[in-house]
């Protein structure tokens, strides 16, 4: 097995161009588990955690966006200054593994794996994040919603590097909640993110672990938007319960050894209701 450790983006792209079948390694918290378990084989590995361009982030106050390099870790995201810019993503970050895992685990790795249970992903989906992909051929930007095409399946082409995730800095409430059988260090059995953009008057709800991809809930979002009062942060109780029902209907959960479809469907409804109440505390 060959292991390449480029120290610049240009070198990393060249390494990938020369070894299109290479496996990218960032924090290794997904990849090493798969390699050690024999679920995945790698002939060559390109290590990207020493590429400075990937490890930086930038807040642009003019465009109101935050550009997170793929190598930014959840340990960074859960703390300020990033946490105050994307509090929902910070909440998701705090649910990832343990402090040790978060120290190594990157947002790019979470997006690279694209598990329906990836904790950052519902927030990225609700924020309409853009995934930046770069290869020797060029650069493209893909909305997260189309980037993820199935469980652990993405639009990333061989030779492409995920370089950054860009999200808007939203004026309003955003949050994430995750159900697991343990109080920490647990894979989500169901999760949800909600972003209420007060300036645009939009509500976005995204669900994790209840479908093959992260699911958005357009009906529930539209219904909430129609009835929400953003300045007073209020939403009527019957609207909340109807939204919960619409969220349950939007979920497409399965039975497995971690839980049942019935429970997952029920749980995302409960989570949506609670997130709506956190966003709109008044009746």
Partner 1 sequence: MTDTALPTDVRPGRLGHSTLRPDGVAKVQGTFQFSGDLTADGVLWGATLRSPHPYARILRIDVSGAWKINGVEAVITAADVPGVMTYGLIDQDQPVFASDVVRFVGEPIAAVAANHPDACRRALDAIVVEYEVLEPLTDPEKAVDGSFEPIHPLGNVFRQQRIVRGDQTIEGPIVVEGTYELGMQDQAFLGLEAALAVPDAGGTGVELHVATQWLHEDRKQIAACLGMADEKVRLVLGGVGGAFGAREDISLQVHTCLLALRTSRPVRMAYSRHESFLGHVHRHPCRIFMRHHADHDGRLRRVEARFVFDGGAYASTSSAVLVNGITHAQGPYKCENATVDGWAVRTNNLPCGAMRGFGVVQACFAHEAQMDKLAVAVGLDPLEVRLRNAMETGDRLITGQVVESVAPVQRLIRELAAMPLPGEPVGGHDRDPMRLPGGAGRTADVGNVRRGIGWAVSIKNLMYSEGFDDYSTARVRLADGVATVKFATAEVGQGFVTLAGQIARSVLGVDNVVLDQIDTQVGSAGSTSASRQTWMSGGAVDGACRLVRERMFERVALLHGVDPLGLVIEGTEVVDTVSGLRVEVSEASAGIEFDETFEHHHRPTEDLDEFGQGNCHTAFAFAAHRAVVDVDPELGLVKVVQVATVQDIGRALNPLSITGQIEGGIAQGVGLAVMEEIIQVNGHVKNASFTDYLLPTFLDMPDVVIGLVEEPEPQAPLGAKGVGEPPTVSSTPAVVAAIRDAIGKDLTRVPVRPTDIVFG
Ligand X SMILES: Cc1cc2nc3c(=O)[nH]c(=O)nc-3n(C[C@H](O)[C@H](O)[C@H](O)COP(=O)(O)OP(=O)(O)OC[C@H]3O[C@@H](n4cnc5c(N)ncnc54)[C@H](O)[C@@H]3O)c2cc1C
For partner 1, the binding residues (CB under 8 A) are 37-38, 91, 94-95, 98, 175-189, 191, 257-260, 262-263, 266-267, 270-271, 274, 277-278
For the bound state, the minimum distance from the C-beta of residue 228 to ligand X, rounded and expressed in Å, comes to 29
Number of H helices, E strands in the chain: 12, 14
- Closer of 119 and 197 to ligand X (Cβ): 119
Residue 109's binding partner among ligand X, partner 1, none (Cβ under 5 to 8 angstroms by kind) is: ligand X
Determine how β-strand 2-4 pairs with β-strand 44-47: parallel
* Contact call for residue 130 and ligand X (CB under 6 A): no
- Closer of 99 and 143 to ligand X (Cβ): 99
Window 133 to 192, contacts with ligand X (CB under 6 A): 161-162
Residue 106's binding partner among ligand X, partner 1, none (Cβ under 5 to 8 angstroms by kind) is: ligand X
Rounded Cα gap, residues 121 and 211, in angstroms: 13
* Contact call for residue 90 and ligand X (CB under 6 A): no
* Contact call for residue 23 and ligand X (CB under 6 A): yes
- Closer of 206 and 224 to ligand X (Cβ): 206
- Closer of 29 and 174 to ligand X (Cβ): 29
Residue 49 vs residues 4, 35, 45, 81: alpha-carbon distances, Å: 11, 18, 12, 21
Rounded Cα gap, residues 137 and 77, in angstroms: 30
Angle in degrees, 0-180, between the axes of helices 237-250 and 218-227, rounded to the nearest 10: 170
Rounded Cα gap, residues 83 and 72, in angstroms: 12
Which stretches of 105-185 are DSSP H helices?
Answer: 107-113, 121-126, 144-147
Q: Which of 24, 68, 224, 235 binds ligand X (CB under 6 A)?
A: 24
Rounded to 5 degrees, what angle do the CA atoms 234, 61, 88 make? 45
For the bound state, the minimum distance from the C-beta of residue 22 to ligand X, rounded and expressed in Å, comes to 9
User: Binding marks (x or -) toward ligand X, 30..49, rule CB under 6 A?
Assistant: xx-x--------------x-
Window 230 to 249, contacts with ligand X (CB under 6 A): none
Q: Which of 75, 88, 112, 269 binds ligand X (CB under 6 A)?
A: 112
Rounded Cα gap, residues 164 and 134, in angstroms: 9
For the bound state, the minimum distance from the C-beta of residue 104 to ligand X, rounded and expressed in Å, comes to 6
Per DSSP, what are the bridge partners of residue 25?
A: 47
Per DSSP, what are the bridge partners of residue 141?
A: 132
Q: What is the dihedral of CA 230, 235, 240, 243, to 10 degrees?
A: -40
Residue 159's binding partner among ligand X, partner 1, none (Cβ under 5 to 8 angstroms by kind) is: none
For the bound state, the minimum distance from the C-beta of residue 190 to partner 1, rounded and expressed in Å, comes to 9
Nearest C-alpha neighbor of 243 from the set 199, 203, 201: 203
- Closer of 171 and 256 to ligand X (Cβ): 256
Catalog residues that contact ligand X under the rule CB under 6 A. Answer: 23-31, 33, 48, 70, 95-97, 101, 104-106, 108-110, 112-113, 118-119, 161-162
């Amino acid at each position: 097995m060959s292991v390449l450790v480029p120290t610049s983006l240009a070198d990393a792209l060249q390494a990938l161009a020369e070894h299109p079948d290479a496996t990218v390694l960032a924090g290794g918290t997904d990849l090493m588990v798969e390699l050690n378990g024999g679920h995945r084989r790698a002939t060559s590995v390109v290590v990207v955690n020493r590429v400075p361009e990937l490890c930086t982030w930038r807040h642009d106050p003019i465009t109101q966006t935050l550009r997170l390099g793929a190598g930014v870790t959840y340990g960074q995201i859960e703390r300020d200054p990033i946490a105050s810019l994307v509090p929902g993503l910070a909440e998701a970050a705090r649910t990832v593994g343990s402090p040790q895992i978060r120290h190594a685990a990157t947002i790019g790795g979470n997006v690279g794996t694209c598990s329906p249970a990836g904790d950052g992903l519902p927030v990225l989906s609700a924020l309409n994040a853009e995934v930046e992909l770069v290869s020797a051929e060029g650069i493209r930007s893909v909305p997260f919603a189309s980037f993820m095409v199935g469980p652990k399946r993405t639009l990333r082409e061989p030779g492409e590097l995920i370089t950054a995730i860009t999200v808007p800095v939203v004026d309003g409430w955003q949050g994430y909640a995750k159900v697991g059988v343990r109080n920490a260090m647990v894979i989500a059995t169901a999760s949800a993110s909600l972003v209420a953009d007060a300036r645009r008057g939009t509500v976005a709800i995204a669900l994790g672990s209840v479908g093959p991809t992260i699911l958005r809930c357009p009906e529930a979002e539209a219904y909430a938007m129609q009835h929400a009062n953003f300045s007073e942060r209020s939403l009527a109780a019957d609207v909340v319960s109807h939204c919960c029902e619409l969220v349950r209907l939007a979920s497409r959960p399965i039975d497995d050894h971690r839980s049942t479809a019935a429970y997952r469907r029920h749980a995302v409804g409960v989570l949506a209701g609670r997130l709506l109440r956190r966003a709109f505390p008044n009746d």
